[in-house]
Structure 1
Amino acid sequence: MAPILRAYKAGDAPVLDRLAVAAFSQYGALFSDWPAMARALACHAALAAKAEIIVAEHDGEVAGSVGYCGPGRPKAAYFDEAWPIIRMLVVAPAARGLGLGRLLSEACLDAARRDGAPLIALHTSPIMTVALPMYLRMGFAWLKDVQPIHGVPYAVYTKQLDS
């Protein structure tokens, strides 16, 4: 069965919080304070207060999600507030390889185009050895390095959008 994208529902919160921790757990040893990072990830669904959450289902199960934070919404200081951004793309370990990351990212690009944005941004890390190459293949380009998160380097990437 093909994956389905849908809007976030309040009942998704516990599943998405667990999913975010599971999706990042493979990197746990790379963070200087994995317990603090895991606590932050376990509040993933709180992103719904700031962003549109898009949920991916596969075989009737929640298998991934991403936040789309539109132009003019509050963002971290290293982003221009006018830019839409992709936040917290997560895919369940068991659902990797199905193209969900790309599908969720494309949904954010569509939302940015809907909002008339000339570009979209995100921040990610070189430890994300699947996500970062995917973003680069999609046309994102490095803009600047930003403050590490619990010892892990991160950078901002942007992509110009066609109309």
Structure 2
Amino acid sequence: MLRDYQPADAEAIMGVALAAFAQFEQHYSDWPLFMTHVAKMPELAKTGEIIVAENGGQIVGAVAYIGPRQPKPAFFDPAWPVIRMLVVDPLARGKGIGRQLTEECVRRAERDQSSVIALHTTPIMTVALPLYLRMGFAKVREAPDILGVPYAVYVKALA
């Protein structure tokens, strides 16, 4: 079940985000610094909409949808809505939760009458990147590395 974020969800979302990224520890040059940024996921509610995935009353995933014209990193076009910090609890993977969260962001971009939606990701994310490509996202340019890990910007055209 998907629903909008409530402030009481902050701790659970931080836990899911930290667990979701744990497998990538060896790739980042400063893991403790990277994790401080991951733990700030609830702060994305200040400029965007966080969507929460629940299963049996437990938060098992989340994503931030940052609408058009909202503050976002400079490597994105300011007019683009973007998907940020898609996270799924490792114990809940393989159930389509990441796809459902991404599809909900696409719906919100369509609601906002955007012609595209964007995100940035990295090849080390061997499940997320192929999912995005299957869903119609295409690489448009490189993005700045994050602590030694290469990233790129991907965009999906909307009807």
Shift of 1:44: 1.0
> Does 2:133 match 1:136?
yes
Which residue matches 2:22?
Answer: 25
Query: Of residues 94, 106, 117 in structure 1, which corresponds to 2:91?
Result: 94
Deviations 1:60-109 (A, max 9, x none): 20000000000110110000110000010000000000100000000000
**Runs of 4+ with >4 A deviation:** none
| 1:7-156 map, 5 Å | 7-156=4-153
Partners of 2:100 and 2:8 lie apart in 1 by 22
Q: Structure 2: which amino acid aligns with 1:136?
A: L
Shift of 1:151: 0.5
Count how many residue pairs are aligned between Structure 1 and Structure 2. Answer: 159
Structure 1: runs of 5 or more not aligned: none
Partners of 1:40 and 1:109 lie apart in 2 by 24
Q: Structure 1: which amino acid aligns with 2:155?
A: T
Identity %: 54
Shift of 1:48: 0.7
Under a length normalisation based on structure 2, what TM-score does the superposition of the two structures give?
0.99
- SS of structure 2 residue aligned to 1:129: coil
Structure 2: runs of 5 or more not aligned: none
When the two chains are superposed, the root-mean-square deviation of aligned CA atoms in Å is: 0.5
Q: Structure 2: which amino acid aligns with 1:126?
A: P
Partners of 1:69 and 1:49 lie apart in 2 by 10
Q: Structure 1: which amino acid aligns with 2:7?
A: A
Under a length normalisation based on structure 1, what TM-score does the superposition of the two structures give?
0.96
